[in-house]
Amino acid sequence: MKLKDLYKKEITKKLKEKFAYSNVLEIPKVEKVVINVGMGRHSKEKAYIENVVNALTRISGQKPVLTKAKKSISAFKIREGMVVGASVILRRERMYDFLERLVNVTFPRVRDFRGIDAKNIDKCGNLNIGFKEHTAFPEIQADEIDNVFGLEVTIVTSAKTKEEGKELFDLMGFPFKKEEDKK
């Protein structure tokens, strides 16, 4: 069953029972997924920026927006208007497809993966996940890689509390660390 159908048919009912929502619109849902890459010291290299853009396009299915510096910072050798990052915002069908691939394919491919720490959920119920290598995503072939870079995935929800967000992610199948694993 696709994640979107699973959410509509089963997850909403379970959330409504657990938190006793009076209105259907109160039930937390995933609003968007933001994939973000910082260029760091490679921000002056055109080939590196091109590699990041191509990789993000393959991972997300849409072209990323290049983030430019708003002010010059001499200590970091950054000039105003210089490319410092790239990001993609996914919504609707692409978002659900990406989340399904993230849970079912990408997490099992991450080396030494023991589960997501519950501390990665903020007080508003949003989840932040950092990847040290973009090679964990199935869309990236190992023989085509020139540079390995890290990226951050932020999943923004309409949840009001951390508990609501955690329950939503649990029901969607996100692998969290167990309490006894932390010791």
pLDDT digits (tens, 9 = 90+) for 35-49: 888 877 776 778 878
- Which of 37-49 are b and which e, b meaning 16 or more Cβ less than 10 Å from the residue's Cβ? bbbeebbeeeebb
CATH number of the domain bearing residue 167: 3.30.1440.10
Distance CA 166, CA 172 (A): 10
pLDDT digits (tens, 9 = 90+) for 145-175: 777 777 888 889 888 888 888 888 888 888 8
Range of the domain at 49: 3-14+29-147+161-173
Residue 183 lies in a domain: no
pLDDT value for 179: 65
44 versus 101: which is more confidently predicted?
101
pLDDT(182) > 60: no
**Is residue 58 over pLDDT 80?**
yes
pLDDT at 183: 47
Whether 125 has a pLDDT exceeding 70, the answer reads yes
Question: What confidence score (pLDDT) does residue 143 get?
Answer: 64
Tell me whether residue 24 is in a domain: no
**Interval 84-109 mean pLDDT:** 83
| In-domain check, residue 23 | no
Least confident of 111-115, 120-124, 177-181: 177-181
Residue 69, in any domain of the structure: yes
Position 67 in a domain: yes
**110 within domain boundaries:** yes
- Total tally of structural domains belonging to the chain: 1
Spatial CB neighbours of 162, under 8 Å, sequence gap ≥ 6: 121, 122, 123, 124, 125
Whether 142 is covered by a domain: the verdict is yes
Query: Is 152 within the bounds of a domain?
Result: no
Q: What is the pLDDT of residues 63-92, one digit of tens each?
A: 888 887 777 777 767 777 777 788 899 888
